[in-house]
Copies of this chain bind each other. A is one copy, B any other.
Amino acid sequence: MRGFFDARSVAVVGVSDDPANMARSIVTNLQEFCFDGIIYQVGQRGGHAFGRRIFKSVADLPDQVDLAVILVPARHVPGVLEECGQKGIRRAIVETAGFSEFGPEGKAIEDQVVAAARKHGIRFLGPNGIGVLNLKNGLVVPFPRLKDVFARGRVSILSQSGGVGLSYLNVLASENLGLAKFASLGNKLDVNECDLLEVLVDDPDTDIIVLYLEGISDGRRLMDLARRTAKPILMHKSNTGQLAREIAASHTASLSGDDAVVSAALAQVGVARFGDATTLVNYLKMLPLPRLEGDRLAIVSRSGGHAVIAADACEAAGFRLARFPEAFLREIERHFRASVIKLTNPLDLGDLFDFDVYLRIVEETLRLEDVDGVVFLHTYIAALEGERSRELFRRIEELGFKHGKPVAICVATDFEEMAILRRTLPHPVYTEPDDAIHSLRLVRDFRHHARPAPVLPEGRLDQERVRAVLARCRAEGRDPGLGEALEVLRAAGLAVAPSSGVASAEEAVSAAAALGGPVALKLDVAEASHKTDVGGVRLGCQGADAVREAFGALAAAAGRLGARGPVRVEVQRMAEGGREIILGARRDPSFGPVVLVGLGGVFVEVLRDVVMRVVPFEATEADEMIRALQAFPVLQGLRGQAPRDLAALREGLLCVARLVEAFPEIAELDVNPLMLFAEGQGALAVDARILLARAVAPA
């Protein structure tokens, strides 16, 4: 895969002597960036361009070539790849658009492209991308013209979209952020983001990795790669909604999973998710600064008003303002020309105009043990104080490094001055106090480190018994019924309310007697998948008559539904007094099994308050899921209510996780509700639903 970045000879295929020819710009870019290798031009009409010959076909090339960059009409791409294969070229970048993103004809050509590549063992990037940039060797092959305005640095970018990739390149250049490598993934017909992410993870020239993706090809591999590396990974995953999904499907042929799964998965492996270029820059500029090790900030401001705004932002972001010691304040006071500003944190420099004094104050502030970081707010008119301010900022940042604490600088000035600051200062400069403080929070909360793959803690899972139930259902081409679903849960070690399946009123009466106490009767036929809505549930039946009557009512309901086969009913001992919890699991096409938890009733139905994780996860992570619920205080016990049995809930989550990890044929599983009792009293599943994948090979 490194070959996409390290090629020492490149054939640009699709060049003609027409000045409007797009492949010519690829050659121009290679020249602009002083490619440290040999460039060949190929185009069926031959001729010459840029003082070089245009070979009529790849076959005509005089030498061996490392990489072909192809920009010919889509229908010609399979043929060009065939020629490349015959010539022994094993790496190609296809920049041509018009494949599956355009329609069924394009899809047919794609199949031919893949066939040609497979036949010759060619790995290719694209189609419908703009290729790569490697600033180290000048391998820069996008077809849009680029100027070499880039600082050399240690940030590398993978972008599914060429346009978004270009705009990120623009931003890096404008912000003086150093670039190492770039690749545009396009339709990801062969090489995907994981293939190149692996290159960047191992790349000695890359320290920070940025991804823009519209779809995630292999979520689990992505998670593994992210866990393997200590390099910060920042990801913009778009295509989050229904509208975008329709476009993206046509745009780069992405299949998008559920966005909440993406967020959960990225959080699990410590990938920072961002949604716009501003946030990206905030990360990139803050990450090289000294680490913010706590939440105590000092605000030093030239304007009291900005200090107020910054203090609001501090509080909203969960920071505290460090308390300044008296001795420090007296020391500061000595520097003031007149004592007209009350000394406190935020420190308002209002009537003080000597920048050297500002510096001394910032340094004194950084020295304070109670201060973890500083926000410096500065208002100026560039024409009057521009140069002095820029020098001030440089020296303030040096002080930050000297004392090992970050300083976020926020200025109010004109945009031309901001452009200069951004392009010339290596450190971040913000225009909004909110933004400066939000950035500090981003880097405070973002812990990037290599981490071992989690392992689900072991537990009782009777695989034989689960397999038997699922095999029977699969054989009969149906999903498990209620009784079967409850049996699977029991086999998975979950506590389930005692119940038994019956087929007649008299069986129901006996079952109820055996269970003891009041019982619930629940219709268990395929046609009643939403039992409650069709009158398929009777609660609190006590005594033979009540049970018999309830069975009759359920049988009648089954009749109304046109249920085929015998009427089956689950008789279950009532489990009352618990808080209703929903446990769920499903299989994401990209990330595999995912488990979720939420509180029943309004919390899920109105507030969509659920927390999700990709399986596997550790027991501590299950606890984190529970605590992350908005409704968590309800489980801790509101208004003197007893706290709920959180250990039982954790165990419930782990049981479900073990089950869906071991049985990929389970496409969806809901335990709804799990009744969660007071601390020490456990939990009981009282209803469940399992859907099987339509066509999954046996595990």
List which A299-321 residues lie within 8 A (CB) of chain B: 301-309, 311-312, 314-316, 320-321
A250 to nearest B CB, angstroms? 4
Q: Is A388's CB within 8 Å of the partner chain B? A: no
Q: Is A238's CB within 8 Å of the partner chain B? A: yes
| Also in contact, A434 and B275, with CB within 8 A (given A147-B383, A305-B214) | yes
Q: Are A307 and B606 in contact (CB under 8 A)?
A: no
Closest to A434 in B: B276
Contacts of A246 in B (CB 8 A): 311, 344
Q: Is A376's CB within 8 Å of the partner chain B? A: no
The number of times this chain is found in the oligomer is: 2
A344 to nearest B CB, angstroms? 7
Contacts of A606 in B (CB 8 A): 630-631, 633-634, 638
| Also in contact, A381 and B170, with CB within 8 A (given A303-B164, A350-B97) | yes
Q: Is A667's CB within 8 Å of the partner chain B? A: no
A474 to nearest B CB, angstroms? 32
CA distance A634 to B604 in the complex (A): 12
| Also in contact, A163 and B304, with CB within 8 A (given A419-B418, A605-B639) | yes
Contacts of A146 in B (CB 8 A): 381
Q: Are A238 and B308 in contact (CB under 8 A)?
A: yes
CA distance A149 to B412 in the complex (A): 15
| Selected interface stretch from A46-54, A154-162, A367-375 | A154-162
CA distance A103 to B344 in the complex (A): 12
Contacts of A306 in B (CB 8 A): 161, 163-164, 167
Contacts of A311 in B (CB 8 A): 241, 243-244, 246-247
| Selected interface stretch from A335-343, A455-463, A670-678 | A335-343
Q: Is A252's CB within 8 Å of the partner chain B? A: yes
Q: Is A358's CB within 8 Å of the partner chain B? A: no
Q: Mark A403-435, 1 if CB is under 8 A from B, else 0.
A: 000000000111110110011000000011011
Q: Is A522's CB within 8 Å of the partner chain B? A: no
Contacts of A166 in B (CB 8 A): 303, 379, 412
CA distance A103 to B533 in the complex (A): 68
Contacts of A229 in B (CB 8 A): none
Contacts of A620 in B (CB 8 A): none
List which A618-670 residues lie within 8 A (CB) of chain B: 630-631, 633-634, 638-640
CA distance A182 to B56 in the complex (A): 69
CA distance A145 to B382 in the complex (A): 11
Q: Is A277's CB within 8 Å of the partner chain B? A: yes
| Also in contact, A315 and B164, with CB within 8 A (given A97-B341, A419-B418, A602-B634) | no
The count of chain A contact residues (Cβ–Cβ below 8 Å) is 103
A470 to nearest B CB, angstroms? 30
Q: Are A415 and B305 in contact (CB under 8 A)?
A: no
Contacts of A248 in B (CB 8 A): 308
CA distance A338 to B106 in the complex (A): 14
CA distance A320 to B341 in the complex (A): 52
Q: Is A251's CB within 8 Å of the partner chain B? A: yes
CA distance A233 to B434 in the complex (A): 22
The listed residue (B102, B174, B214, B301) touching A342 by CB distance below 8 A is B102
Q: Are A308 and B167 in contact (CB under 8 A)?
A: no
Contacts of A134 in B (CB 8 A): none
Contacts of A276 in B (CB 8 A): 432, 434-435
Contacts of A174 in B (CB 8 A): 414-416
Closest to A212 in B: B305
Contacts of A307 in B (CB 8 A): 247, 251
CA distance A639 to B160 in the complex (A): 43
List which A328-385 residues lie within 8 A (CB) of chain B: 338-342, 344, 346, 348, 350-351, 379, 381, 383-384
Q: Are B161 and A303 in contact (CB under 8 A)?
A: yes
Q: Is A74's CB within 8 Å of the partner chain B? A: yes
Contacts of A346 in B (CB 8 A): 247
Q: Is A239's CB within 8 Å of the partner chain B? A: yes
Q: Is A536's CB within 8 Å of the partner chain B? A: no
Contacts of A74 in B (CB 8 A): 340
Q: Mark A269-287, 1 if CB is under 8 A from B, else 0.
A: 0000001111000000000
Closest to A351 in B: B97
Q: Are B379 and A315 in contact (CB under 8 A)?
A: no
Q: Is A98's CB within 8 Å of the partner chain B? A: yes
Q: Is A59's CB within 8 Å of the partner chain B? A: no
Q: Are A341 and B305 in contact (CB under 8 A)?
A: no
Contacts of A341 in B (CB 8 A): 97, 101-102
CA distance A277 to B419 in the complex (A): 17
Contacts of A241 in B (CB 8 A): 311-312, 314-316
Closest to A251 in B: B304
Q: Are A251 and B163 in contact (CB under 8 A)?
A: no
Q: Are B432 and A278 in contact (CB under 8 A)?
A: yes
Contacts of A350 in B (CB 8 A): 97
Contacts of A171 in B (CB 8 A): 412
Contacts of A303 in B (CB 8 A): 161-164, 166-167
Contacts of A145 in B (CB 8 A): 381, 384
Q: Are B163 and A321 in contact (CB under 8 A)?
A: no
Q: Are B167 and A312 in contact (CB under 8 A)?
A: no
Contacts of A212 in B (CB 8 A): 305
Q: Are B277 and A431 in contact (CB under 8 A)?
A: yes
Can you report 28 A-B residue pairs in the complex whose CB atoms are below 8 A from each other?
Answer: A73-B338, A98-B338, A98-B339, A145-B381, A149-B414, A163-B304, A163-B305, A163-B379, A165-B305, A167-B412, A170-B379, A170-B414, A174-B415, A214-B305, A238-B309, A239-B312, A241-B312, A243-B312, A243-B314, A244-B312, A251-B305, A251-B308, A252-B304, A277-B412, A278-B431, A602-B638, A605-B633, A605-B638
Given contacts A163-B379, A415-B422, 19 further A-B contacts (CB under 8 A): A101-B341, A103-B342, A145-B381, A163-B302, A164-B305, A166-B303, A167-B412, A170-B412, A173-B414, A174-B416, A238-B312, A243-B311, A244-B312, A247-B348, A275-B434, A278-B431, A416-B419, A419-B419, A532-B639
Q: Which 4 A-B pairs have the closest CB atoms?
A: A163-B303, A161-B305, A167-B412, A164-B305
